[in-house]
Structure 1
Amino acid sequence: MSDSMIIYNDDAYTKINELISAGIIVNHIITDPPYNISKNNNFSTMKKPRTGVDFGLWDRGKFDLFSWIPLYTKLLDKNGSIIIFCSYRFLSYIADVLEGEESNCEVKDILIWQKSNPMPRNINRRYVQDMEFAIWAVKKNSKWVFNKTVSKPYLRSLYTAPVVNGAEKVGHPTQKSLSVMKEIISIHTNENQLILDPFMGSGTTGVACKELNRKFIGIEKDNNYFEMAKRRLEV
């Protein structure tokens, strides 16, 4: 799309070979791959149906959650970092892959997006699901980026923002909050650095990069979501 931003309508699992062959090196990977948590529900019978935890076929347990990680960490520079959003069910598994010999990374912390307006479910039988998680890891022996603001004595790994709605919502069922992504990118990356999102979805990471003067590479397999991202990034 430009010298500082390029997006591919492609499968991240096949695109990686081309990126490695081309000698592409990125400063950071920030991505929100499928969680593999979707399941059938009967909400369609409701007067005002909602999705619940059925986000579509792409999230129905067939996505390979782990083997992409050591492939893409090959693209990270020596001081690179990677942030992966995921379900709480898979935090420890993804951490193990990141710290494996092939990935050569070290997990530093778990980031949390706390939703200020979560969708309630069976509140008499379950806790409200108001949090999503991401694992932050860095290359071993790296001098990683961490831009702590001078005005705060310390930073919490808790980012609070509402579920995406209104004009910001573009139609992706698991769209991430732009304010959360901008805050994460501000802390964990520097201006003019190159950020890669192998599972771009509707392009929120790219929009945050554009607004914060970062370079961006995005990959998205689904044609509809790719077009969403393209429209947002062309504005």
Structure 2
Amino acid sequence: MKKKSSRNKTIDFTLEEGKKYADRAIEVKDPVKLETIINQTILGDTFEVVKHLPEGFVDLMIADPPYNLTKTYHGKTFKETDADEYTAYTHRWLDAVLPLLSEKGSLYICCDWQTSMLIGPVLQEKMVIQNRITWQREKGRGAKRNWKNAMEDIWFASKTDDYTFNVDAVKVRRQVLAPYKTAGQPKDWEETAQGNFRDTYPSNFWDDITIPFWSMPENTAHPTQKPEKLMAKIILASSDEDDIVFDPFLGSGTTSVTAKKLGRRYAGIEQNPLYAAWCEKRLEMADEKPDIQGYADQVFWERNTRRFQKNN
């Protein structure tokens, strides 16, 4: 095996090497009380585990189900299917997890542009759709006969129109290139030693996200890992401190890790014990280093601006 660079922070140990982390995950095979699952990684099949969880305990649910693509997840392959079958799968998992969501709770669903067209109509039958976010993941394979696919969607829905949304917690700090002044003073921007900046309200197009890569401590060998910065936007906007954030397709743990860093309670289900072990390793790391790359000074920063950030 090729030796990794000293700058390569990717978490990629085997199940045997990470046994102490894998052993921290719990199994749920009978009805449990809320305190049993809070701040825990649950190892098991989502469709079976949710049968035993308390109803209505989730304040914010973030779901990243397998996209309708053939992809192997360290020994388990999700196979692409036709639209009708994937639609039926979406109905099935939504019907399984929605009873866990509180009456004021929100749900975010990650998807690519193709599965987005299938998920949207199903979600509209079951919830109140508030928005569809598109984020620029930048990374992607080039294509000679089509446009490079560098965007993904996130559906934002709630049970009712009474839901949490903390817009001031998710402002984006942008450089001001053509500063406008009134009576010689900055208008809607701040002049600093580092430059001129404006804190703007967020839109449903996110172009400030960086996909985790090998030199970032949050990176794992999971093939579809989402960035902590992306989860932080969702968690800060749609939950309050001490709320419960739940992920039914936890993967390598980005939702739980980010929720922990932001002072939320969390729980998640993952069927692959290796991914559960990586999640527990990351949760341990969060105790020593709770920062989130791209989020500092209580605002989200544009790409390539670390030199301006105070607490990075």
- Aligned with 1:148 (options 162, 167, 170): 167
Where structure 1 has 5 or more consecutive residues not aligned to the other structure, the ranges are 39-53
Deviates more, 1:180-189 or 1:88-97: 88-97
Residue 240 of structure 2 is aligned to residue 190 of structure 1: yes
Deviation at residue 93 of structure 1 after TM alignment: 2.8
Q: Pairwise mapping of residues 200-219 of structure 1 onto structure 2 (< 5 A)? A: 200-219=250-269
* Matches of 1:86 and 1:201, distance apart in 2: 15
- Partner residue of 1:41? none
Deviation at residue 193 of structure 1 after TM alignment: 0.5
Moved over 6 A (4+): none
Residue 204 of structure 2 is aligned to residue 157 of structure 1: yes
* Matches of 1:208 and 1:69, distance apart in 2: 23
- Partner residue of 2:306? none
> Cα–Cα, structure 1 residues 174 and 194, in superposed 2: closer, same or farther, change >3 Å?
same
Amino acid at match of 1:170: T
Amino acid at match of 1:121: G
- Aligned with 1:132 (options 152, 172, 185): 152
Amino acid at match of 1:17: K
CA deviations 1:121-163 (Å, max 9, x no partner) are 22x32211111111110002x4111111286554201222122
Q: Is the 8 A contact 1:110 1:134 kept in 2?
A: yes
Residue 20 of structure 2 is aligned to residue 15 of structure 1: no
User: CA RMSD of the aligned region, Å?
Assistant: 2.2
Where structure 2 has 5 or more consecutive residues not aligned to the other structure, the ranges are 1-23, 26-34, 172-198, 286-312
Q: Secondary structure at the match of 1:149?
A: helix
Q: Secondary structure at the match of 2:260?
A: helix
CA deviations 1:156-190 (Å, max 9, x no partner) are 01222122102321110100011111112111211
Amino acid at match of 1:30: I
Deviation at residue 55 of structure 1 after TM alignment: 4.4
Q: Is the 8 A contact 1:80 1:139 kept in 2?
A: yes
- Partner residue of 1:75? 100
Q: Secondary structure at the match of 2:122?
A: helix
Q: Secondary structure at the match of 1:77?
A: strand
* Matches of 1:188 and 1:233, distance apart in 2: 21
Deviation at residue 211 of structure 1 after TM alignment: 0.6
Deviates more, 1:89-98 or 1:71-80: 89-98
Q: Is the 8 A contact 2:254 2:279 kept in 1?
A: yes
Q: Secondary structure at the match of 1:161?
A: coil
Rg larger in 1 or in 2? 2
* Matches of 1:120 and 1:65, distance apart in 2: 27
- Partner residue of 1:44? none
Identity %: 27
Q: Secondary structure at the match of 2:69?
A: coil
Amino acid at match of 2:275: Y
Amino acid at match of 2:99: K
Q: Secondary structure at the match of 1:81?
A: strand
Amino acid at match of 2:146: R
Amino acid at match of 1:13: F
Residue 55 of structure 2 is aligned to residue 36 of structure 1: no
Deviates more, 1:186-195 or 1:57-66: 57-66
Deviation at residue 33 of structure 1 after TM alignment: 1.2
* Matches of 1:85 and 1:174, distance apart in 2: 11
Deviation at residue 12 of structure 1 after TM alignment: 0.3
- Partner residue of 2:142? 121
* Matches of 1:191 and 1:149, distance apart in 2: 14
Amino acid at match of 1:130: A
Residue 284 of structure 2 is aligned to residue 234 of structure 1: yes
* Matches of 2:155 and 2:55, distance apart in 1: 26
Q: Is the 8 A contact 1:34 1:58 kept in 2?
A: no
Q: Is the 8 A contact 1:31 1:205 kept in 2?
A: no
Q: TM-score, normalised by structure 2?
A: 0.63
Amino acid at match of 1:81: S
